[in-house]
């Protein structure tokens, strides 16, 4: 079954203490779509400007991502720039240039409106609503967010939570939303806002799920060297949705394993700048790391 993914399609300029890489392919939807593409068909909904490099379109195509709903408009592609400290958990946004994103209001082709799995990757909640309004009875809807929307679009986000099956956010966003320091207490509060499945991501410490079958502690794959964690959260949720959409059996039965797959794809993302590493891996390499994680956590 296919996954429809809407979110940002961006050019990312990323600085770490050791290196600087301008105008890489980035954006929440790009990372999530590439991650999901290792499992099954993906439909990308987004917008780029005329400056969007052809080689990035080719990268999407090589991953067999459906680009029918990717608009190319006159103007500039969304450009985001961020800088990491030596401790890669600390990042500062240096620049956000919206470009063609400023007026983005996607109309989905009718072929996309029946996608069973919908991933509303990080983007303004009003746009997440706009896309969801066009879907015909999707089977499973997941959304991600960021601190910016908690600050400037909380009422829209709270309305969205009531329409979701699953909500994914990181630990600092969970604290911001609930004022709880304790992850488990925060999960409980977020359930009350709507979603049956809530996942709190904790960066290099993995993620915690609270769902119909209780809690699940999902480990991060142990990496000795992180090059650039940009997009790791998007890769996690993209990989998870890709696996869920294609695995046999019920969503409930597959959910934990889907998170492990997401966690593994995110680990590859961290090993290279932007999508450089993720775009070159194979399904076999993903399966291999999943087996390693299984061995590392069995007791
Ligand atoms: P993450 O590392 O998971 O926080 O995701 C980083 C990605 O989010 C980058 O590729 C950025 O292009 C994208 N991004 C940054 N700011 C925004 C924003 N305001 N709206 C949508 N996407 C954004």
pLDDT tens for 179-211 read 999 999 999 999 999 999 999 999 999 999 999
Q: Report residue 18's pLDDT band, with 50, 70 and 90 as the boundaries.
A: confident
- Using the mean position of ligand 1's atoms as its centre, give its distance from the Cα of residue 145 in Å: 9
Distance from the CA of 257 to the center of ligand 1, in angstroms?
26
The DSSP H or E segment spanning 293 is: helix 283-297
- Which residues, including other chains, have CB under 8 Å from residue 265's CB and lie 6 or more apart? 35, 38, 235, 236, 238, 239, 278, 286
CA of 248 to the centre of ligand 1 (A): 32
pLDDT digits (tens, 9 = 90+) for 210-222: 999 999 999 999 9
Half-sphere exposure at residue 176, Cβ-oriented, CA atoms within 13 angstroms: 14
CA distance 9 to 30: 6
Please indicate whether residue 285, judged by its CB atom, sits closer than 6 Å to ligand 1: no
What is the predicted pLDDT for the residue at 13? 98
DSSP for 145-214, please give it.
Answer: --HHHHHH-HHHHHHHHTT-SEEEEEHHHHHHHH--SSHHHHHHHHHHTS-SEEEEE-GGG-EEEEETTE
Is it the case that residue 151 has pLDDT exceeding 90? yes
pLDDT tens sequence across 29-64:
999 999 999 999 999 999 999 999 999 999 999 999
Q: Is the pLDDT of residue 89 over 90?
A: no
Do 81 and 12 contact (CB within 8 A), yes or no? yes
% of the chain beyond a pLDDT of 70: 100
What tokens were used for 235? 């890769």
Evaluate: CB of 230 within 6 angstroms of ligand 1.
Answer: yes
Asked whether 27 lines ligand 1 (CB < 6 A), one says yes
Mean predicted lDDT score pLDDT of the chain = 97
Residue 146 CB neighbours (<10 A) = 15
| 37 Cβ below 6 A of ligand 1 | no
* Residue 227 CA neighbour count, 13 Å, CB half: 16
**Atom 20 of ligand 1, residue of closest alpha carbon:** 123
Average the pLDDT over 252-271 and give the result.
98
- The DSSP letter of residue 220 is P
Between vectors from CA 6 to CA 76 and to CA 279, what angle results, nearest 5°? Answer: 80
Q: How far apart are CA 204 and CA 200, in angstroms?
A: 12
How many angstroms separate the alpha carbon of residue 28 from the centre of ligand 1?
Answer: 5
What's the gap in Å between 27 CA and the centre of ligand 1? 5
Work out the percent of the chain whose per-residue pLDDT is above 90.
98
Closest residue (by CA) to atom 18 of ligand 1? Answer: 123
Asked whether 274 lines ligand 1 (CB < 6 A), one says no
Contact present, 42 and 246 (Cβ < 8 Å): no
Distance CA 79, CA 101 (A): 10
* Measured torsion, CA atoms of residues 285, 287, 293, 294, in degrees rounded to the nearest 10: -150
- Closest CA to ligand 1's atom 11: 27
Average pLDDT (18-28) is: 96
Protein residue with least CA distance to atom 12, ligand 1? 27
Burial of 107 by CB count in 10 Å (0-12 exposed, 13-18 middle, 19+ buried)? exposed
Cα–Cα distances (Å) from 250 to 35, 156, 208, 221, in that order, read 21, 30, 20, 25
82 ligand 1 Cβ < 6 A: no
Instruction: Tell how strand 197-201 and strand 207-211 pair up.
Output: antiparallel
Distance from the alpha carbon of residue 149 to the mean position of ligand 1, in angstroms: 12
């Amino acid at each position: 079954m296919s996954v429809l993914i809407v979110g940002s399609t961006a050019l990312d300029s990323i600085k770490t203490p050791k290196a600087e890489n301008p105008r890489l392919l980035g954006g929440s939807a790009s990372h999530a779509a590439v991650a999901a593409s290792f499992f099954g068909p993906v439909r990308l909904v987004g917008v780029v400007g005329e400056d969007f490099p052809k080689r990035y379109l080719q990268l999407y195509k090589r991953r067999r991502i459906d680009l029918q709903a990717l608009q190319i408009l006159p103007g500039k592609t969304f450009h985001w720039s961020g800088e990491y400290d030596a401790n890669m958990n600390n990042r500062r946004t240096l620049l956000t240039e919206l470009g063609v994103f400023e007026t983005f209001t996607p109309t989905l082709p009718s072929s996309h409106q029946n996608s069973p799995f919908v991933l509303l990757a990080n983007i303004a909640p009003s746009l997440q609503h706009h896309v969801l309004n066009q879907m015909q009875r999707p089977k499973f809807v997941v959304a991600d967010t960021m601190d910016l929307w908690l600050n400037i679009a909380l009422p829209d986000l709270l309305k969205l939570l009531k329409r979701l099956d699953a909500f994914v956010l990181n630990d600092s966003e969970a604290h911001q939303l609930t004022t709880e320091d304790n992850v488990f207490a925060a999960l409980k509060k977020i359930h009350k806002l709507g979603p049956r499945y809530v996942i709190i991501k904790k960066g290099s410490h993995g993620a915690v799920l609270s769902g119909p079958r209780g809690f699940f502690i999902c480990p991060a794959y142990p990496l000795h060297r992180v090059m650039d964690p940009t997009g790791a959260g998007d890769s996690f949720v993209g990989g998870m949705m890709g696996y869920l959409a294609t695995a046999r059996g019920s969503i409930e039965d597959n959910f934990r394993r889907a998170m492990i797959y997401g966690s593994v794809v995110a680990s590859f993302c961290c090993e290279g700048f932007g999508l450089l590493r993720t775009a070159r891996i194979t399904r076999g390499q993903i399966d291999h790391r999943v087996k390693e994680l299984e061995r590392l956590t069995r007791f």
